[in-house]
Copies of this chain bind each other. A is one copy, B any other.
Amino acid sequence: MNLIARLYDVNSSEPRVVIHRDDCKELGVKQMDRVKLEAVSSQVIVVSISDTVVNKGEILVPMSVMARIGAKDKQKIKVSYSPKPESVKSIRKKMDSLKLTKEEINEIVFDILENRLSNIEISAWLTALYINGMDNEEISNFTQSMVATGEKIEFDRTPVFDFHSLGGVPGNKITPIVVSIVASAGLMIPKTSSRAISSACGTSDFVEVFCPVELEASKLKNIAETAGGVLAWGGSMNIAPVDDMVIDIEYPLGINPRAQMLASILSKKLALSATHLLVDIPMGTGTKVRTLEEAREYARDLMELGNKLGIRTECAITYGDQPVGNAIGPAPEARECIRILEGAAHPASVIEKACDLAGMILEMGGIPDGPSKAREILSSGKALAKFREIVEAQGGRKGITSEDIKIGKFVHDIKAVRAGYVHSINNKDLVTIARTAGAPADKGAGIILHRKKGQRAEKGEILFQIYADNQAKADRAKDIAIRLEPMDIEGMLIKKVPNPPALKGI
């Protein structure tokens, strides 16, 4: 059937064409079926049916698809029914808990990339992955397919070190410190990071407070090869783009299937030609990994997968029961991070975690006594100099200092309503409060903790402060903070046991 193509100026996560109901009947096409469009070149795409927004004989085509098939507004194009892609059968196979071949996985990945699978089908795929999982051979194939969907960056230097945190613990601002230490020691670490999805602040969210993070591949390569380190946003390059496409589906479902997560991490490292990788696995209530057993399992899988893919991988299981350091949110974390590079002695948890992890990377690079070497580089000021070199190379201010970072002007103090010890801190509640205050979009928004676990507060003393860039969000965050009570304060005496207890039970 020939239809007149009309430009359809809707920017959606899922490009579709719109065809009149009568033409659909004629084509034998139902809602969510696919058609093949043919002009200069061809494309298969999902159909929406309408009898109001499109006339009979016409087809609404999004701009990106017009460009792809080489057609213009009001041009006649050939439209025909296109059967479901074969990859839908492979999704069914995973629903039935069967193992997929390399080719089947590759087809699914490329059909997502080319918009041949609809959001409904991708959602079914992720749900099946979440429930039925993949073995390491499948994950390894999955990773390689994801790498093949995008750009691969090759460096003139080798080895290439990399670092990744599974996340889930707020305030984890160690990346710029780790990268600066490792690069100071002469190893190359071209680190790409992500932005927050459901957290209060991703690494790229706070790094961009002091320098641009959207680097082109050639610039990233150049900075890494000269400075030895880089602090880029992974999303700015065309690296494993399919991964970003599925995040749009994972987020509303609130799932991150293990196989998808592992393939996602490793595909980005593989695309950046990493030869050595350290993975930080924060463990604790409120993080992604709850128990030591689970953490060990992730570590085993990551190391096995790394081996299969030619990346020497080590893992560090770290303490994740409460935030790392005291600051949460873009500017607060940026300031705390730079202060430590400048030589501040607190918060100790940030220094310890950064130096221990940087030390592991140094040892992977053949430098003995890694952790103490890392502390030496940090305290000598070499890490700060390297950090400033990287920031300047990425287009940030020359000689950046922590004084340059401005945090939110609208502040609320949250005080202890009784005296006692902080027994627990709820990571998720803190994230909710920081996000309500505006993080990560409002750079000044976040939280500064004045007490951490095990510390004592008297009644009326500040437990934490909320910072925001506008009054309304500060107020809303305060209301939520009072309702959630993210810090649990108790006396040292938890529960009285009456004597003799035996009498009561009878």
Contacts and interface: CB of A to CB of B under 8 A. Distances in A.
Interface residues of A, number: 48
Interface in A71-93: 84, 88, 91-92
B127 A95 contact: yes
Contacts of A12: 48, 50
A156 interface: no
A31 B124 contact: no
B121 A252 contact: yes
Interface centre among A119, A132, A253 (most CB of B within 10 A): A253
A435 B248 CA distance: 35
Closest 10 CB pairs of A and B: A123-B123, A127-B127, A32-B252, A120-B123, A124-B127, A25-B441, A11-B50, A131-B131, A11-B52, A123-B124
A122 B10 CA distance: 23
Interface in A30-47: 30-33
A403 interface: no
Contacts of A255: 92, 95, 124
10 contacts: A10-B52, A11-B53, A26-B441, A30-B251, A31-B248, A84-B254, A88-B254, A92-B255, A97-B131, A119-B119
B10 A120 contact: no
A13 interface: yes
Contacts of A13: 31
A28 interface: yes
A175 interface: no
Interface in A423-478: 435-436, 438, 441
B124 A253 contact: yes
A426 B97 CA distance: 27
Given A131-B132, A441-B25, A441-B28, A253 B121 contact: yes
A321 to B, nearest CB: 23
Contacts of A110: none
A112 to B, nearest CB: 14
A52 to B, nearest CB: 5
A56 to B, nearest CB: 15
Interface in A308-355: none
